[in-house]
Amino acid sequence: MTRRLHRLRRARGFTLIELLVAISILAIVAVLGWRGLDGIIRSRGALTAQMEQTRGLQLAFAQLQSDSANLAPQTLIGTRALLRAEDNRITLVRLVLAENDATRLQVVSYRVRDGVLTRRESAGTRDLAQLDALWEAANSDIDPAASVALQSGVQRMAMRFWTTQGWVQAAGVMQAPAAAGVPSGLEVSMVLDGQEVPMTKSFLLGAL
């Protein structure tokens, strides 16, 4: 009789309280696991977006480096301005070198508007009068040339020139040639969304 009761007690299974405790523990473990997995997914998504932003900005810097290196020499355009910078915009005159073709002048402008960095280039020309018209159009909102979006999520862009007097902040509008002489270097800083530290790069002007 005693053995039969012992067997019945062993075969009766878990009580309701034991099942509730086990289910509660499993629920807590599941919630903790889901939160950890969700955090990993969110961190991975943020890191991927940041890497894409950095990669896009590096490509934009590479294009700006090419334009800066091909800055037109002052001897070709006389006393005309070849470089102008202001908050969120920079405009320059560069050389267009094509194989089996005459060297031409081109007006290129970079601008940050509504969080998007764009680049706009004019047609190449050898006519200085036409160059003047292209320069005026590039520094206004009537430029008919199509712009190319280089990077989104850009809060602001700031520039400095390296002159014979050292680094000069492009506050407001600074136009070269200026009293400090034609700049030999350009520093561009851009602040992206979600980043407090700007990405900064310096370029030689007219290096080619």
pLDDT at 32: 75
Report yes or no: 81 and 177 within 8 Å, Cβ to Cβ.
yes
pLDDT tens-digit series, residues 52-88: 667 778 888 999 999 999 999 888 888 888 888 888 9
pLDDT at 16: 74
Report yes or no: 96 and 87 within 8 Å, Cβ to Cβ.
no
Contacts of 153 by beta carbon, 8 Å cutoff, 6+ apart: 53, 115, 192, 193, 194
CA torsion angle for 184, 137, 146, 183 (degrees, to 10)? 0
The whole-model pTM stands at: 0.72
Q: Digits of tens for pLDDT over the chain (208 positions)? A: 555 545 545 556 667 777 777 788 888 887 777 777 666 766 665 556 666 667 778 888 999 999 999 999 888 888 888 888 888 999 999 998 877 778 899 999 999 999 999 999 998 899 999 999 999 988 887 767 788 889 888 999 999 888 888 888 876 555 555 555 668 889 999 988 877 888 899 999 886 5
